[in-house]
Structure 1
């Protein structure tokens, strides 16, 4: 694909070089603006934020985007292209932001959480945060010795991506000898303030 990801870039509030970088991926049918609207709730003013738009138009929304097809007849169509685009995008960020992958946190919600695992498990990132996400078949790099520190969060009342998806992610990674910080919240398919607080604490513990 001869395309590059469009994105929203928000430098640190203090005009200083960023302490770290947070790349946040939206879900199926949302867009970068949706996740960027949560910026005040992250409460990480010394960090730079990047909010990429998925490359594909959403089939049911004029403004929504998709990382790949989720309808059954074309399930996962476009995943390989998005994986390559997102990997190259993440690897290009150090030259534009000055922040290496070792100080970059990749996080995502729902389909964006699935993409976080799809791409992030194979890169030397500082950490991964998955909110209401799921693990694709064959996403786990079985030959790797370690993966980035990973926080998996899910709502117990989620009717879109069932809680079992998060449990399966945790158990799959555990079975390969990887440790996962796993949290459940009384919530539906959403990003709530408790999740954002847990994300903030994870970022501060991982990068500082």
Structure 2
């Protein structure tokens, strides 16, 4: 698969050209419809939303997709690492190609993701000149190197009761990103591995505030 073959859900903005583009990456075992239904609740009608489908079929669900596989213990195998490399390359090249198709420059393009999609957001986004990164119940890949250039600002939102991606993962990600000199906004909620309406409020404010700079 190449970046031109990504399956997409596109929600257009109510203005042309859009004020910006927001890319949202779904989690492990979900698909692009999982987050696509949330678009109206972000209350950012002047932004175009793009929801790409995962590169690989999920092993345990007929309709699920993934960016890479896990073992039962959440560890990466050689197969997982190879899949991650493929998803990294395709997503990175696709995001960089977006200005040619959307008319929106990268500095007004946002990358966001939930869970494994949040991990992919950090994986590719820290090295791209995008407007910002939004990580919802996600994590930083343990072997992710320090960015080689100025990274975009990052919003991390996580639930204290998350039993899929534990809260210490988000806290350690915030700490390491801050050590790297990345601007990080961090917020915890009393929730599990989910997205509640209050989270969307935080995301909307983050986008609005950074868009004014």
Q: TM-score, normalised by structure 1?
A: 0.94
**1:31-53, Cα deviation, whole Å (9 max, x unpaired):** 11110101111000000010000
What is the CA distance between 1:76 and its match in structure 2?
3.6
Q: Is residue 26 of structure 2 the alignment partner of residue 21 of structure 1?
A: no
1:104 aligns with 2:105: no
Q: Provide structure 1 residue ranges, at least 5 long, that are not aligned to the other structure.
A: none
CA distance in 2, matches of 1:179, 1:44: 23
SS in 1 for 2:155: strand
Aligned partners of 2:41 and 2:88: how far apart in 1?
A: 28
Deviation at 1:178, TM superposition (A): 2.2
C-alpha distance in 2, partners of 1:101/1:17?
A: 14
Contact residue 20 and residue 103 of structure 1 kept, 8 A: yes
Q: Distance in 2 between matches of 1:156 and 1:120?
A: 25
The CA deviation at 1:78 is 0.2
- TM-score, structure 2 as length reference: 0.92
- How much has 1:143 moved relative to structure 2? 3.3
Contact conserved, 2:24 with 2:111, CA < 8 A, in 1? yes
Gaps (5+ residues) in structure 2?
Answer: none
Distance 1:32 1:55 in 2: 11
Query: What does 1:121-136 align with in structure 2 at a 5 Å threshold?
Result: 121-136=126-141
**Contact kept? 2:11, 2:39, Cα under 8 Å:** no
After TM superposition, the structure 1 = structure 2 runs for residues 1-208 of structure 1, keeping only pairs within 5 Å, are 1-2=1-2, 4-12=5-13, 14-71=14-71, 72=75, 73=77, 74-144=79-149, 146-208=150-212
TM-superposed CA distance for 1:113, in Å, is: 0.1
Distance 1:123 1:176 in 2: 15
Q: Which segments of structure 1 move beyond 6 Å, counting only runs of 4 or more?
A: none
CA contact (8 A) 2:126 2:147 kept: no
User: How far off its partner does 1:180 sit?
Assistant: 0.8
Task: Give the secondary-structure state (helix, strand or coil) at the position aligned to 1:181.
Answer: strand
CA drift of 1:60 comes to 0.7
Provide the aligned C-alpha RMSD in A.
1.4
Structure 1 distance, partners of 2:115, 2:2, is: 26
CA contact (8 A) 2:115 2:138 kept: yes
SS of the residue 1:106 aligns to: strand
User: Quick one: structure 1 residues 2 and 202, their matched pair in 2 at CA, closer, same or farther if it must change by over 3 Å?
Assistant: closer
